[in-house]
Amino acid sequence: MSLYRVCLVLHLAAAFLWLGHMFFWSVFAGPVLKKIGPPETGARLRALSLRMGGLGWPALTVLVATGIVMLGVRGIGVEALVSGQLLATRFGRALSLKLALVLAMIAYQAVFGHRSAPRAIYLNMLAALLVLGASAIVAGR
Amino acid sequence: MLSAYSMEAFLHLVAGVLLVGQCLFWVVMAVALGRETGAQESVRLLETINRGAWPPVGVPRALRLSLPVLGWCFLLALGATGGLLVARHAPFPDGLFAGHFGHVLAAKMALFCLLLVGHAIATFRPRRGIAFVNGALALLIVGVSALLRH
């Protein structure tokens, strides 16, 4: 298996685990566990579900590292990223959007980490959805 | 604006993310309950979680979905969007499962079928063991998907 494929496997695994944790806990598991009765049982289960902590920094580390390698294999270097030449193609525009959103998510992770952020988390999830959309375009190249 | 293909791929990715998230949730709960409680209490609490309904507010109780049913929704979305994405590669002159793409697709579909069986078991008998199996299957499917290049 080539280096590119190994990086792609790790990139996808990190993305799915991180975003899956983010979406499923925030949208489904958290609200469901809050309403499980009796209240002591619900509280206990919620506490247990949060034991693992956040996946943000480990996932972002893998995502950035593997992303840099994959861009390099595709011949996309720093110059292409900063010069604006990527914006000439649909693929390039989608990639630029994806990278910009990833930077925003890194900023969110740095400010909030795994702490509760009732409103900002939804902006972070919106960014994640847009990253997935951009990834669908990038992967289709 | 997303093309039809990109939209199908996007929905496939979102459904996959949600399914992996659910599998991860069950693994986390299985590990946490295994450390904190005995076997019988673990089973009782896993079954309690299994009966949890979503959304917990704003919708009549009869219309709420249990966590396993949500999982079936994600699996259905994955199957449907996956079928559309594969159909885009048609026709298959040497057969659907021929060549590198076909072999990897066959592996992915086999793993997906195993996950369907695993999810069916977890729907009626949520246990720590099946949570780990389903989690492993979900991650394997993600890994195999990375190899799926036509």
3-state secondary structure of B135: helix
* Chain A residues lying within 8 Å of B71, measured CB to CB: none
Q: Which of A60, A74, A136, A53 is nearest to A103 (CA)?
A: A60
pLDDT tens for the 150 residues of chain B, in order = 678 888 999 999 999 999 999 999 999 999 999 999 999 999 999 999 999 999 988 999 899 999 999 999 999 999 999 999 999 887 777 788 888 889 999 999 999 999 999 999 999 999 999 999 999 999 999 999 999 864
Q: Does any CB of chain B come closer than 8 Å to the CB of residue A32?
A: yes
Q: Using CA of residue B57, residue B135, residue B33, residue B41, what is the dihedral sign?
A: positive
pLDDT at A141: 60
pLDDT at A37: 86
* Chain B residues lying within 8 Å of A8, measured CB to CB: 146
pLDDT at A116: 73
**pLDDT tens profile A19-35:** 999 999 999 999 999 99
Most distant CA pair in chain A: distance in Å? 59
Helices A39-49 + B39-50 axis angle, to 10: 100
Residue of chain A nearest B23, judged by CA positions: A20
In this complex, which of B6, B14, B48 lies closest to A36 when CB atoms are compared?
Answer: B48
Residue of chain A nearest B88, judged by CA positions: A140
Number of domains composing chain A: 1
The first and second tokens of residue A46, run together, are 């919620």
In terms of residue numbers, what domain contains A36? 3-139
* Chain A residues lying within 8 Å of B104, measured CB to CB: none
Residues in chain A predicted with pLDDT less than 70, given as ranges, are 141
Question: What phi, psi does A50 have (nearest 5°)?
Answer: -100, 0
In terms of residue numbers, what domain contains B79? 4-146
Q: Does any CB of chain A come closer than 8 Å to the CB of residue B16?
A: yes
In this complex, which of B6, B52, B143 lies closest to A13 when CB atoms are compared?
Answer: B143
Q: Cβ contact (<8 Å) for B10 and A13?
A: no
The CA angle B15-B16-B20, to the nearest 5 degrees, is 120
Number of domains composing chain B: 1
Distance CA A82, CA A64 (A): 17
Shortest distance between the Cα of A37 and any Cα of chain B, in A, equals 9
